[in-house]
Amino acid sequence: MKALVILPTYNEIGNLAPMVEAILSQGDMFDVLVIDDGSPDGTGLLADHLKETHSERVEVIHRQGKLGLATAYLTGFRYGLQRGYEFLFEMDADFSHNPEYLPHFIETMQREGADVVLGSRYVAGGGAVRWPWYRKLISRGGSFYASKMLGVSVRDLTGGFKCFRSSVLEALKLDSIQASGYGFQIEMTYRAIEAGFKVVEMPIIFEERREGQSKMSPAIFMEAFWMVAKMRAQHVAEEAPELERLRP
């Protein structure tokens, strides 16, 4: 079994080296793909150095300019699928996601027969530490809104620490993914559920980043808000013909 941990980076020079080392220390099955969006602080150069140091287990993709979280993960998914990885992870590079959870994702996936495992802050045993109250409110409120609008039981739809089986990503038609920001997290999970895959939430403790500044902004939040409304409208439109057919 081989797993690819995808790390999108932008100005993460203080976090990247210890993060990569921590991931690799979780076991030989875990490789790392750094996707750097032209970080002006030298993160991309550091990533190249880490690749030289760990030539068999670290790869780097450089992109010109800040192209966004969703496109970074989609690039990483395609890279991993082309190279035959069985498990593909989304993970932040700033230590808000603890690398020690990585083996537990695989264990949960195998034990539960899951196709997608979400690192969840909002199931028993999960949580967030060193977060101001307004961040907690936005996160919990966003997940609650999305789950109710989309009619799914997942508690933490906005979380960004997750593992997919390759078969899920092959089935989801990555070119059709619409969201560009944090709405991407909601869309990927929702599409997996709609396609009939088993999604399981695993408790994690989310921590505030160690170094640098958060990438969250009002624009990112609003993009996710409208993306959920759009997905709900599409779902209703797709259901309408079937309901009409079943009407006596």
CA 143 to CA 128: how far, in whole Å? 14
Q: Which residues contact 82 (CB under 8 A, 6 or more apart)?
A: none
Q: Which residues contact 110 (CB under 8 A, 6 or more apart)?
A: none
Query: Domain span at residue 21?
Result: 3-246
Of 51, 160, 28, 19, residue with least CA distance to 103 = 28
Q: What is the pLDDT of residue 166?
A: 97
Is 121:128 a contact under the CB 8 Å cutoff? yes
Specify the number of domains making up the chain: 1
pTM of the model: 0.86
Is 27:18 a contact under the CB 8 Å cutoff? no
Is 33:4 a contact under the CB 8 Å cutoff? yes
Q: What is the pLDDT of residue 43?
A: 97
User: Strand, coil or helix: what is 164?
Assistant: strand
Is 226:186 a contact under the CB 8 Å cutoff? no
Q: Which residues contact 97 (CB under 8 A, 6 or more apart)?
A: 91, 119, 160, 161, 204, 206
Q: What is the pLDDT of residue 243?
A: 45
pLDDT in tens, the chain (248 residues): 899 999 999 999 999 999 999 999 999 999 999 999 999 999 999 999 999 999 899 999 999 988 889 999 999 999 999 999 999 999 999 999 999 999 999 999 999 999 999 999 999 999 888 877 777 777 777 777 777 778 788 999 888 999 999 999 999 989 988 877 678 898 999 999 999 999 999 999 998 765 555 555 556 556 656 666 666 566 556 654 544 455 55
CA 217 to CA 129: how far, in whole Å? 20
CA 115 to CA 122: how far, in whole Å? 20
Q: What is the pLDDT of residue 4?
A: 98
Q: What is the pLDDT of residue 97?
A: 95
What the block records as the tokens of 23 is: 């991931």
The CATH number linked to 185 is: 3.90.550.10
Is 87:161 a contact under the CB 8 Å cutoff? no
Is 176:184 a contact under the CB 8 Å cutoff? no
CA 225 to CA 69: how far, in whole Å? 16
Q: What is the pLDDT of residue 211?
A: 55
Handedness of CA 127, 118, 88, 101 (dihedral sign): positive
